Structure 1
């Protein structure tokens, strides 16, 4: 198993790296080139930079993953694609994307986009809490 992270806006990268290192699992942080850093990656971690296009990181992750790999993303579209390849997919808020919940999540995303197009205001995600971080860590540990 390898871990692939949609890393541009991922608030739990440090947790992923920490847990992966203690389990001796490789981590690939897929980021836009606009987030380039010359900082050396920790052992077992590789930063992969992609163009700034909207779905460039998603395409690269899908090109790299194999059945049984773990993907961390908040992007429902990427989650659906990774599930179709047999990957385990986790959201940084500490829940797992599954074949049972992905259709509902995609539908809610679509309905929210339609509402915004029609001029309605929709709520954004709640801020990341320490409880969210702990829940994510526990979920990640259960797969490692």
Structure 2
């Protein structure tokens, strides 16, 4: 764990399916906070001293494991993965989803339970669709940017 991580000066991105990477980079530049983009394989990213890319490999949950290991009090994690969010919260991180929603110690238990119920329902439907999340919108992008800015101000 680096001094930056111990001091809460790190943004960790679960990068494989993150639609708000550019917003994170912009905010990180403004606040001069390092960003660690973690993914199974290489993702294009800005050539900037604040941005590092970690290729975790394609083993099951490899990227999640890298992120969870780096999570610490004060770090900010951006992920849509509820189980990873739970691990990061347990480590003391602030965790946001891609739409700007904050995972919290008070809400994560219910979110994990809902995820499990939905997985059971999907498994029982034997290929029948039950719908999914709404498409990512401009309003979602804006909500994320606002939530990110607020979260980073609180980390200082």
Q: Smaller-chain TM-score range?
A: over 0.9
- Report matched runs for 1:52-67 at 5 Å: 52-67=58-73
RMSD: 1.4
Name 2:47's counterpart in structure 1: 41
Asked if the contact 1:8–1:31 (Cα under 8 Å) also holds between the matched residues in 2, the reply is: yes
- Indicate how the Cα distance of structure 1 residues 57 and 83 shifts in structure 2: closer, same or farther if over 3 A, else same: same
- Does 2:111 correspond to 1:105? yes
- Distance between the aligned counterparts of 2:150 and 2:106, measured in 1? 19
Gapped regions of structure 2 (runs ≥ 5): 1-8
Name 2:141's counterpart in structure 1: 133
Asked if the contact 1:112–1:122 (Cα under 8 Å) also holds between the matched residues in 2, the reply is: no
Structure 1 residue 38 displacement after superposition: 6.7
Name 2:3's counterpart in structure 1: none
- Indicate how the Cα distance of structure 1 residues 40 and 94 shifts in structure 2: closer, same or farther if over 3 A, else same: closer
- Distance between the aligned counterparts of 1:21 and 1:131, measured in 2? 22
Name 2:6's counterpart in structure 1: none
SS of the equivalent of 1:47 reads strand
TM-score, normalised to structure 1's length?
Answer: 0.93
Name 2:39's counterpart in structure 1: 31
Give the 4+ runs in structure 1 shifted more than 4 A. 37-40
Asked if the contact 1:115–1:121 (Cα under 8 Å) also holds between the matched residues in 2, the reply is: no
Gapped regions of structure 1 (runs ≥ 5): none
Q: Deviations over 1:46-84 (max 9, x none)?
A: 010011123110101112222110000000000000000
Task: Give the paired residue count.
Answer: 142
- Distance between the aligned counterparts of 1:38 and 1:105, measured in 2? 31
Corresponding residue to 1:11 among 13, 19, 31 = 19
